[in-house]
Amino acid sequence: MRLVLLMQYVCPVIVVIVASGGAFLWPVALRLWRLSQTLVPLDSKDSDALRIGILGASFIARAAVVSAADKRKDIVVSAVAARDTQRAKNYAAQYDIPAFHGGPHAYSSLLARDDVDAVYIGLPTALHLEWAIAAMRAGKDVLLEKPAVLNANEASELAQEAKRTGRMVFEAGHYRYHPAAKRAKQLMSLNILDGGVAPLRSVEVRFSMLDPKAWLRRMWSLVSSDDSMRPDERLAERVKNFDRWWYCVDMLLWSTGAFDAHVVSANESRFSLAATLELYLYPSLVVNVSMSMARDSLLDPFTWSVSALGQTSDGQASLKLHNFGFPFLWHRLDWKSLDVAHSEQLYGFGETTFEHQLGSFREALQSGDRQEDAILLTMRTVDRILEVAGHGAFPSKEVVHHQ
């Protein structure tokens, strides 16, 4: 299991090191040290630990929940479900999960368990709404992998069901819960005179992560006369892109505290998307922002950043957070306010964004801090971007309501 956990981070580490010059020995060493720490065995978990069931025996579930819960005393993974019975059985055995369910009724069987307080749903996005509703109707709170849903109509239905059942939906935007992202958000709301960057004038979010297959397909399309795709293949490709540019939209809205957005322009190609927007902030501030995502850029193989500019009559300020997506591997937060430059790196004890996320999920369940309105705003903005780009919102899958 330790070898699997180690390999989980090898590829991202290599990408970051190659792309950014190799100055990452300390955070990498910290990560490896964190991985070697003693895991919390089941019999040492807190008596009131949050008991989580997993729908989908997936890689992302391992990173987002299993590996993160292994380091916490207050959270335990009590069951996993997969349609493939053998896969569910192997997954449970490999990660010491006490119970598993397989077969066509696996998800419903897990939701009926009394030893599951909440569920993590890491299924394909098209299935999120169906099983989040089923989970809430079964009395379970939901940690829902991002993107939570496909469009604003689904987000609205999700919010209505959460209100009706009194259960919570918590979107797994793991980057938000790391100290580096929280610090950037704090500085973007702090006045220039107090050492921050506000009031904001512009914000830019960029996410470029080279996908070799995407690059090769783009190269082939330049020389091939027949690079057509079936409609279902094209939709699947667009949803795969959305899994990445969701970060751009969410970071823009979350970091600024915007309450609405107007899309000025948008362009969606096969492996990339770019947009400019106006964000509306309280009490009456309008901020010009831009975002871009690419999977096929050989010249920019890895960029995951948010930048902001602020200005008042007293002076200017700027901020840039490098690698906000996986800051536990490496990051740097640079900002300048009234000609005073600062730089920070906030690694703590090497906790992953997923460890911070699980802790925040448990705290939200205790405090009642809800996210449904934020999910709805994000998806309304996503729909507007796609409409301006000329493709329209993603279609919904017909939802089967499970009793």
Q: What is the C-alpha separation between 346 and 331, in angstroms, rounded?
A: 8
Evaluate the CA torsion angle 346, 348, 352, 356 in order and state its sign: negative
Q: Considering the domain 46-175+350-377+392-403 in this protein, what is its CATH number?
A: 3.40.50.720
Contacts of 272 by beta carbon, 8 Å cutoff, 6+ apart? 241, 292, 293, 294, 295, 296, 297
The pLDDT assigned to 227 comes to 63
The pLDDT assigned to 1 comes to 46
Q: Give the class (CATH, top level) of 179-345.
A: alpha beta
Residue % of the chain over a pLDDT of 70: 89
The pLDDT assigned to 231 comes to 84
In one-letter notation, the amino acid at residue 35 is L
Strand partners, 308: 203, 319
Start-to-end Cα distance in the chain: 37
pTM: 0.89
Q: What is the C-alpha separation between 392 and 166, in angstroms, rounded?
A: 32
Helix, strand, coil shares of the chain as percentages rounded to 5? 45, 25, 30
Mean pLDDT of the chain: 91
The pLDDT assigned to 400 comes to 62
Q: What is the C-alpha separation between 218 and 221, in angstroms, rounded?
A: 5
The domain locations on the chain are: 1-37, 46-175+350-377+392-403, 179-345
3-state secondary structure of 9: helix
What's the pLDDT tens digit per position in 278-325?
999 998 899 999 999 999 999 999 999 999 999 988 899 999 999 999
What's the pLDDT tens digit per position in 122-168?
999 999 999 999 999 999 999 999 999 999 999 999 999 999 999 99
Write out 357-384 in H/E/C secondary structure.
HHHHHHHHHHHCCCCHHHHHHHHHHHHH
pLDDT at 33 exceeding the cut of 80? no
Contacts of 289 by beta carbon, 8 Å cutoff, 6+ apart? 202, 203, 204, 205, 252, 256, 276, 277, 278, 279
DSSP states along 209-228: E--HHHHHHHHHHHH-S---
75, 98 Cβ separation under 8 angstroms: no
Q: Which residue, among 190, 296, 183, has the nearest Cα to 244 in the 3D structure?
A: 296
pLDDT at 385 exceeding the cut of 80? yes
